[in-house]
């Protein structure tokens, strides 16, 4: 009789392992959540902390976020100094399995190409500076491929039974990105070298990828709101140089951009910074597609006006 129960118990355990619960993954940004979903599929249960319609630099995590992190088996983040709230969140959650450097920690900045890496001592007199380079790196598809690879390898490490599937998904993602990159670059080829103004210094990766130029921003220094003097400077700059438009993320106030637009006639274009910040952007590829489309529409409208 006892042997029968033991057999049934073993059967239960084996069936439980067959129907293993999805890996609980918490990401800081919605873009990372989308990549984890794309690669992990049904084997992951993903949530993100930062609401994509708000600035990811300044998030006030809620108790429910602490609870999510406490239960997570994998914590995926941007590394560097993008999420200033990441440390306090991890401290509040007290989940030892995802502390920095542990098996459940995935810093997506590892291995990606970084722009604006400081080559001298930094000071906050220069605004909201980034000590390790510009952290908005996911907007370059080359970095997107590296991030997908990192996610695939981490999922394979934590869930080796499905490693082949994760790696196949990464390979498929790479193929798709390669195809789309060719297409995006072809669409943008006529506009190589075109200059636009930015609101915040968060677009160097997409600008670098598409071969555009962005050297002036509405924020006089990162994190410092535009002032009248700086708008005067940008007005005269736009009038003296060939500038084609103003771009900003959806979550920044657009009053200053509209003021500058009225003065200069430049169109204001809102780009996607993260998956879900506009209803049209529900995946990484869609985000890049949306941004390329916005640029093309901007430059076509300028050409038709001319």
Q: What is the binding site for other proteins (CB under 8 A)? A: 51, 53-55, 58, 60-64, 66-67, 70, 80, 84-85, 87-89, 91-92, 94-96, 99, 102, 109-115, 117, 124, 127-128, 131-133, 140, 142-143, 145-146, 149-150, 152-153, 167, 170-171, 174, 205, 208-209, 223-225, 251-253
Q: What angle do CA 294, 179, 149 make, to 5 degrees?
A: 100
In whole angstroms, the minimum distance from the beta carbon of 163 to other proteins comes to: 10
Pairing of strands 268-271, 243-249: parallel
Give the residue with the Cβ less far from other proteins, 132 or 237.
132
User: What letter does residue 41 receive in the DSSP assignment?
Assistant: G
Give the residue with the Cβ less far from other proteins, 62 or 262.
62
In whole angstroms, the minimum distance from the beta carbon of 31 to other proteins comes to: 16
Give the residue with the Cβ less far from other proteins, 107 or 195.
107
Give the residue with the Cβ less far from other proteins, 214 or 298.
214
* Tokens representing residue 269 in the block: 């274009």
How many whole angstroms separate alpha carbon 184 and alpha carbon 242? 23
**Can you tell me which residue has the tokens 């970095």?**
143
**Phi and psi for 147 in degrees, rounded to 5?**
-65, -40
Edge-to-edge strand order for the sheet containing 105-107? Answer: 44-48, 23-27, 74-77, 105-107
- Asked if 218 contacts 199 with a C-beta cutoff of 8 angstroms, the reply is yes
State the burial class of residue 41 (Cβ atoms within 10 Å of its Cβ: 0-12, 13-18, 19+): middle
* Tokens representing residue 99 in the block: 């502390």
Give the residue with the Cβ less far from other proteins, 83 or 302.
83
How many whole angstroms separate alpha carbon 71 and alpha carbon 47? 11
In whole angstroms, the minimum distance from the beta carbon of 110 to other proteins comes to: 8
Give the residue with the Cβ less far from other proteins, 100 or 265.
100
Give the residue with the Cβ less far from other proteins, 13 or 67.
67
In whole angstroms, the minimum distance from the beta carbon of 239 to other proteins comes to: 27
In whole angstroms, the minimum distance from the beta carbon of 206 to other proteins comes to: 11
Give the residue with the Cβ less far from other proteins, 115 or 286.
115
* Tokens representing residue 133 in the block: 């380079």
Q: What is the dihedral of CA 102, 108, 111, 113, to 10 degrees?
A: -160
- Asked if 136 contacts 202 with a C-beta cutoff of 8 angstroms, the reply is yes
Of 59, 147, 52, 166, nearest in space to 108 by CA: 147
**Can you tell me which residue has the tokens 């439980």?**
16
In whole angstroms, the minimum distance from the beta carbon of 170 to other proteins comes to: 8
In whole angstroms, the minimum distance from the beta carbon of 245 to other proteins comes to: 22
In whole angstroms, the minimum distance from the beta carbon of 254 to other proteins comes to: 11
State the burial class of residue 16 (Cβ atoms within 10 Å of its Cβ: 0-12, 13-18, 19+): exposed
């Amino acid at each position: 009789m006892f042997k029968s129960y033991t057999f049934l118990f073993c059967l239960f355990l084996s069936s439980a392992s067959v129907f293993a619960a999805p890996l609980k993954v918490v990401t800081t940004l919605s873009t990372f959540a989308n990549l984890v979903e794309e690669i992990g599929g049904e084997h992951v249960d993903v949530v993100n902390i930062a609401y994509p319609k708000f600035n990811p630099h300044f998030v006030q995590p809620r108790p429910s976020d602490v609870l999510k992190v406490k239960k997570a088996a994998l914590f995926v983040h941007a590394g560097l100094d993008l999420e200033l709230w990441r440390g306090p969140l991890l401290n509040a959650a007290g989940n030892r399995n995802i502390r920095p450097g542990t098996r459940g920690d995935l810093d997506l900045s590892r291995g990606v190409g970084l722009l604006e890496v400081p080559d001298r001592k930094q000071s906050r007199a220069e605004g909201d500076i980034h000590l390790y380079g510009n952290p908005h790196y996911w907007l370059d598809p080359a970095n997107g491929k590296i991030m997908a690879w990192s996610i695939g390898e981490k999922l394979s490490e934590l869930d080796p039974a499905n490693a082949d599937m994760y790696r196949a998904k990464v390979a498929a993602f790479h193929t798709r990105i390669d195809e789309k990159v060719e297409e995006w670059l072809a669409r943008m080829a006529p506009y190589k070298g075109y200059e636009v103004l930015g609101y915040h210094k968060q677009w160097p990766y997409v600008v670098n990828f598409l071969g555009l130029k962005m050297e002036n921003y509405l924020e006089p220094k990162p994190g410092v709101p535009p002032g009248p003097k700086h708008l005067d400077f940008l007005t005269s700059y736009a009038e003296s140089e060939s500038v084609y438009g103003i771009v900003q993320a959806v979550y920044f106030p657009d009053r200053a951009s509209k003021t500058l637009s009225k003065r200069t006639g430049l169109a204001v274009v809102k780009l996607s910074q993260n998956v879900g910040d506009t209803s049209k952007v529900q995946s990484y590829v869609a985000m890049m597609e949306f941004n390329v489309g916005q640029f093309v529409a901007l430059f076509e409208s300028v050409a038709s006006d001319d």
